[in-house]
Amino acid sequence: MKYKNILFGVIALLFFGAIGCDTNIVDQNNLSSESGAVLSNEFSMDQMATAAETNSIIDGEYLLLFKGNKIPKGFSDDIEDKGGNIIYQHDSGFAYVSGLTSSQAEEMRARKDISELTANASFSLNLPNDAELSSEEAVASSTQNPAGSFFYARQWHYPAIDADQAWAAGYLGSEDVTFAILDGGIDYTNLDLSGLVDLSRSISFVPTDDALVDIYFPGRNYITDLQYHGTHVAATVASNGIIGAGTTSKTTLTGIKVCDVFGDCNFGAIFSGLLFASETGVDVANMSLGGGFLKAGNGNFVGFINSLMNTVRRAGVTVVVSAGNSAADLDKDGNIYNAFCDSPNVICVSATGPIASQSVNGPFTDVDAPAVYSNFGRSSIDVAAPGGNTGAPVWATCTQTSLVVPVCQTGNFIVGLSGTSMASPHVSGLAALIISQGTNNPGQVKSAILQSADDLGQNGTDKFYGKGRINVAKALGL
């Protein structure tokens, strides 16, 4: 059975071009399969490596840090007088502005109260190398048992980390623990996510996507996922367990849209999203995204990132990030700053997965094998988690508002993706379970995850596994 991509690409290109937004349209939906469909036209590994290390300056947008961690009086009036607009500002002294000319930015750079000013830049989301769409539609039936979800038989990734043992012991998470999913949005009405997403603490920093939501899904919240990536990540963190299981079942989610339907993200949106999360009581922020840039000549920007990450940590937010899908040795990255594994106070996650399976439901061979695409390196990788491999992807529900996989609009489908983006939310889910037991300091949460991991590869810190592959049951003392 073959599905074709929705024919909106030309319209979207004209629309985005009219408002001056650079776009990268990738045909991701040449869908055909025997037992499911394969999205065969995604980025190759070389293309992903190039995309992750190539940033595009966004005209007129700038990021500022003020000395003394304080926005001065009259700043908003100054920006308005210049014809600009404040997209977001935070009382830590951060501001994200648009509508300035380069000469106006240089004038501001000369101000004595500004410690850093840099142009905003975009990068491409590290999309999975391939994906599978199940040709079966889930039968909707409520369950309080994650292992009883319709597609659980193919979700090898939860037994691999002993999450099923934790569920059986009653560790399903707490609604008092809140996640921020910094990604391309969430399908918050999906069967697996309905009731779990707090829209009052959700926000979109992607106005181009907002316009498409108004066109295709009028009345929907702007965090609506028009792609598939964000919903897959969110449902891996927490799920109602109807279509597929999630690492937790009762955790509260917030959607912070920082990437558009084409997989373009930008630093201004990400930084604003992190700070927004920190001031709205979020406990864990999952960032299944990242890019790289040269350190040489960008020392101030590195300092900019590190300062913001420290602010987020002081607010009590545990930040979990994906290592990237370029099969790169991060110990030998030389002059490249890997955002965000090189940032302070984060948990950087590599990917594991089976090398073979006899069927879509297994049995699966060597589920802890390092994923062929995963970045690695002792200096960067903290811990490993299931991300999918040559033998099977990670499965989670598909957004029913996807313009990229339009068949998902027609029913309760599940999509299989492979990437470190899929590994990171397993760790985020474990962080939430640990926090629900009373450990909420980010440093202590990280230590609990690393110390309870199954030590694989070389003893101690391994270049692929870091401190090991996470073990949910062990981390909870089971």
Q: Check residue 291 and report its DSSP letter.
A: E
Contacts of 477 (CB under 8 A, 6+ apart): none
Nearest to 278 by CA among 303, 311, 237, 238: 311
Q: Which residue type sits at 166?
A: A
Q: How far apart are CA 52 and CA 126, in angstroms?
A: 7
The residues annotated as belonging to the active site are 183, 229, 421
- Which sign does the torsion angle of CA 274, 255, 263, 259 carry? negative
Q: How far apart are CA 309 and CA 314, in angstroms?
A: 9
Phi, psi of 160 (to 5 degrees): -60, -30
Burial class for 410, CB neighbours closer than 10 Å (0-12, 13-18, 19+): exposed
Q: How far apart are CA 474 and CA 453, in angstroms?
A: 8
CA dihedral (47, 49, 53, 56) in degrees, to 10, reads: 20
Helix 267-279 with 299-314: angle, nearest 10 deg: 20
User: How much is the CA Rg of the chain, to the nearest whole Å?
Assistant: 21
Do 379 and 330 contact (CB within 8 A), yes or no? yes
Q: How far apart are CA 264 and CA 475, in angstroms?
A: 35
Nearest to 209 by CA among 162, 257, 161, 248: 257
Residue 205 exposure: Cα atoms within 13 Å on the Cβ side: 30
Q: How far apart are CA 168 and CA 113, in angstroms?
A: 56
Q: How far apart are CA 199 and CA 216, in angstroms?
A: 20
The CA-atom distances, in angstroms, between 197 and each of 82, 226, 370, 431 are: 38, 17, 32, 18
